[in-house]
Amino acid sequence: MSARLRPPESARATALAHPNIALIKYWGNRDPYWRWPANGSFSFNLDGLWTRTTVHFRAELEQDVLWLHRRRVTGEGLRRVQRVLDAVREQAGFTWKAEVISENNFPMAAGIASSASAFAALAVAAAAAAGLRLREPELSRLARLGSGSAARSVPGGYVEWRVGAHEADSFAYTFAPAEHWALADCIAIVQETPKAIGSSAGHNLAETSPLQAARVADTPRRLALVRHAVQTRDFELLAQVVEQDTHLMHAVMQTSTPPLLYWTPASVRVMQHVRAWRGQGQPVAYTLDAGPNVHVLCPADDAANVATALAEVPGVQRVLIARVGGPARLLPPEQALSPKGPAASEG
Ligand code: DP6
């Protein structure tokens, strides 16, 4: 640790990050403490949806304070944030506590991984506030300590998170920029209430499924297919591998002890409709994370029509549309959040 005990004068920074949708899923950890994943994964960032976070290291604070949507958060949520703050403080060589203020522009229980954008924005803001000049891989690793999928929300566009030879070597990078392929994610929301078992608890159950080892062993093949599909903009190939990957993860979830069944009848209805539409020649594919809402991928130009069709499926409450988004980024000081400040608009 360096001798520096206090952050630089300008100890405040604000960052914005997008959530992401995994095309090849992260499920299970080699080492849960470090969130070193069992397998590599692949995603794209979701433009238009974001978390904005301000981090302010202050000498007079006796403890770290977290505000989410202007409400004070303690307990496990605060502890995860502290994992990232502690890593930053250790690297920067000071002990000042921080005030962290965060907000999302999308519903947190909508089956969109808000932890991905939250910890990507936190990592970028905290490192800058502490005066650390970290490169993208280091920021990706830092975000990963708070939430695995957050590693993928640091770089922009189409992103791969490699397992790495050891935990320090496990970070995400841009496989192709957002402009490479104009896809969209139409998120069919069938349930807005928070899920009963979150991802972190779910990851710890993965090993109890006899199918997890086979899923992990086959991941390099699926990753190679997704890379090829993205590289060549082959939607049909993408659809096949993305849906297979979804079913492999949910098969593991459903055969864990205790079993996790995230689907509702409406989720299944949406999946069946998407399969039928693709059978009629429409380029659409579905994927589901640890929740019942269905992410329907399609060419961006088709998104409005796909969303209209999805909204007519019984049980779909509403549909969000997101195109492929860019990297996490710092925002100018005037866009900083304050705990009591007005609700923000995108920067
Ligand atoms: C199903 O990154 O949310 O969305 O590391 O415990 O925060 P933690 O888990 P998280 O897991 C994501 C699981 C997933 C698949 C994926 O996004 O790859």
- Rg value, the chain, Cα: 20
295 ligand 1 Cβ < 6 A: no
Q: Residue ranges of the domains in the chain?
A: 8-335
Say which residue the tokens 């976070």 belong to: 53
Residue ID of nearest Cα to ligand 1 atom 1: 289
120 ligand 1 Cβ < 6 A: no
Distance CA 177, CA 158 (A): 6
Residue ID of nearest Cα to ligand 1 atom 4: 289
293 ligand 1 Cβ < 6 A: no
> How far away, in angstroms, is 114 Cα from ligand 1 center?
10
> How far away, in angstroms, is 280 Cα from ligand 1 center?
32
pLDDT value, residue 346: 40
263-279 pLDDT, tens per residue?
Answer: 999 999 999 999 999 99
163 ligand 1 Cβ < 6 A: no
User: Please, are residues 313 and 274 in contact by the beta-carbon 8 Å criterion?
Assistant: no
151 ligand 1 Cβ < 6 A: no
> How far away, in angstroms, is 58 Cα from ligand 1 center?
31
200 ligand 1 Cβ < 6 A: yes
Look up residue 321 and give its amino acid: I
234-291 pLDDT, tens per residue?
Answer: 999 999 999 999 999 999 999 999 999 999 999 999 999 999 999 999 999 999 999 9
What is the fold, at CATH topology level, of the domain defined by 8-335?
A: Ribosomal Protein S5; domain 2 (3.30.230)
- Name the stretches of the chain with pLDDT < 70: 1-10, 108-113, 194-195, 341-347
> How far away, in angstroms, is 306 Cα from ligand 1 center?
26
- Give the closest residue to 246 by CA, choosing from 182, 192, 294, 306: 294
Residue ID of nearest Cα to ligand 1 atom 6: 200
Half-sphere exposure in the Cβ direction for 27 (13 Å, CA): 34
pLDDT value, residue 197: 80
Look up residue 151 and give its amino acid: A
- Give the closest residue to 341 by CA, choosing from 113, 99, 108, 106: 99
Task: Look up the pTM and report it.
Answer: 0.95
- Report CA-CA distances (Å) from 179 to 8, 17, 44: 37, 18, 12
Phi, psi angles (nearest 5°) of residue 297: -90, 145
- Give the closest residue to 130 by CA, choosing from 190, 196, 86: 86
Render the burial of 228-262: b for 16+ CB within 10 Å, e for the rest. Answer: ebbeeeebeebbbbbbebbebbbebbeebeeebeb
- First-last CA distance in the chain: 35
E strands along 190-317, which residues?
285-287, 294-299
Q: How many residues does the chain have?
A: 347
Q: What is the DSSP letter of 346?
A: -
29 ligand 1 Cβ < 6 A: no
Residue ID of nearest Cα to ligand 1 atom 8: 147
Residue ID of nearest Cα to ligand 1 atom 14: 289
